[in-house]
């Protein structure tokens, strides 16, 4: 874990209408205390972003978009650009496995989205990770290399510090909101993948940039597994899927992060 605050992101995916999203934020606000060393980010649907921006306690939460289009404006019916999100969000998720595999977004589009986020002063949360088949074929490091190096290739050195990367092994993701039944990678598997990510960043932008970059683990975390996942070597937080829709689970994940940090502080 680097010196930055732990970053915990709740990706609500295509769930909850505006009213339901508002209720969930209210319940999270009731249960989650302000933690100086933990940054909490909520990624609701695009429709809910604007009303939630008026509701959230900004001392506790920041907002994140789940996706955006890489052209700032123009004849792109139905799309929302990064420039439109400037005043609403601190983060945008880019390259999530849903976008890569269900919407067939290629490496080059993800690269352009990362650059568009930086251009509009938004931090991209870049998701990378291998499928079960790629892992079985021994291609994990190559997949991570291609995804990381392509995505960051249009950035200047000064911009890399704004990027967050989430290691998201596709084979470990739950289906929908059933986050309780999935395969959890061992700490060694997570640490190995994160070392590969930092190595690729180091090759592009140097060891300091690689060391300081926040890298999350994203793979169906829950309150019961969160601490173990965050204790994996090199993990700076979590990208939470289905469990972030359950206020008890998500607040439990935050509590687990706080307990872990308290334990670490006590050891120093």
Say if residues 193 and 200 touch (Cβ distance below 8 Å). Answer: no
Q: How far, in Å, CA of 266 to CA of 268, rounded?
A: 6
Q: Which DSSP string corresponds to 11-39?
A: E--S---HHHHHHHHHHHHHH----TTEE
Kindly report, residue by residue over 214-237, the tens digit of the pLDDT: 999 998 789 999 999 999 999 999
Looking only at the bridges linking them, the beta strands covering 6-11 and 237-240 are: parallel
Cα 8 versus chain centre, distance: 8
Q: Global pTM?
A: 0.94
Could you give the residue numbers annotated as active site?
A: 96, 168
What's the fold here for domain 6-267? TIM Barrel (3.20.20)
List the chain domain ranges.
6-267
Q: Is 180 a residue whose pLDDT tops 60?
A: no
* Residues pairing with 165 in the sheet: 126, 215
Kindly report, residue by residue over 115-173, the tens digit of the pLDDT: 999 999 999 999 999 999 999 999 999 999 999 999 999 999 999 999 999 999 998 87
List the one residue out of 158, 91, 154, 75 whose CA is nearest residue 126: 91
Contacts (Cβ under 8 Å, ≥6 apart) of 24 = 12, 16, 245, 247
């Amino acid at each position: 874990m680097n010196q930055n605050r732990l970053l915990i992101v709740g990706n609500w995916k295509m769930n909850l209408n505006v009213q339901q999203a508002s209720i969930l934020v209210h319940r999270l606000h009731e249960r989650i205390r302000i933690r100086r060393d933990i940054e909490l980010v909520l990624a609701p649907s695009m429709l809910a972003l604007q009303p939630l921006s008026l509701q959230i306690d900004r001392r506790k939460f920041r907002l994140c978009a789940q996706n955006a289009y890489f052209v700032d404006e123009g004849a792109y019916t139905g799309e929302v650009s990064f420039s439109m999100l400037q005043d609403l969000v601190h983060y945008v998720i880019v390259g999530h496995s849903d976008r890569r595999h269900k919407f067939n977004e290629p490496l080059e589009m993800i690269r352009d989205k990362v650059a568009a986020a930086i251009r509009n002063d938004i931090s991209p949360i870049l998701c990378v990770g291998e499928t079960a088949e790629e892992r079985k074929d021994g291609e994990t490091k190559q997949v991570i290399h291609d995804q990381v190096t392509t995505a960051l290739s249009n950035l200047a050195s000064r911009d890399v510090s704004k990027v967050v990367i989430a290691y998201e092994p596709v084979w470990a993701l739950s289906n929908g909101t059933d986050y309780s039944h999935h395969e959890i990678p061992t700490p060694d598997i997570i640490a190995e993948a994160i070392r590969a990510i930092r190595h690729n960043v180091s090759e592009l932008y140097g060891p300091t940039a690689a060391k300081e970059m926040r890298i999350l683990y994203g793979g169906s975390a829950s309150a019961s597994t969160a601490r173990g996942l965050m204790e994996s070597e090199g993990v700076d937080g979590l990208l939470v899927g289905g469990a972030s829709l359950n206020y008890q689970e998500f607040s439990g994940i935050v509590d687990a992060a706080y307990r872990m940090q308290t334990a670490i502080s006590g050891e120093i």
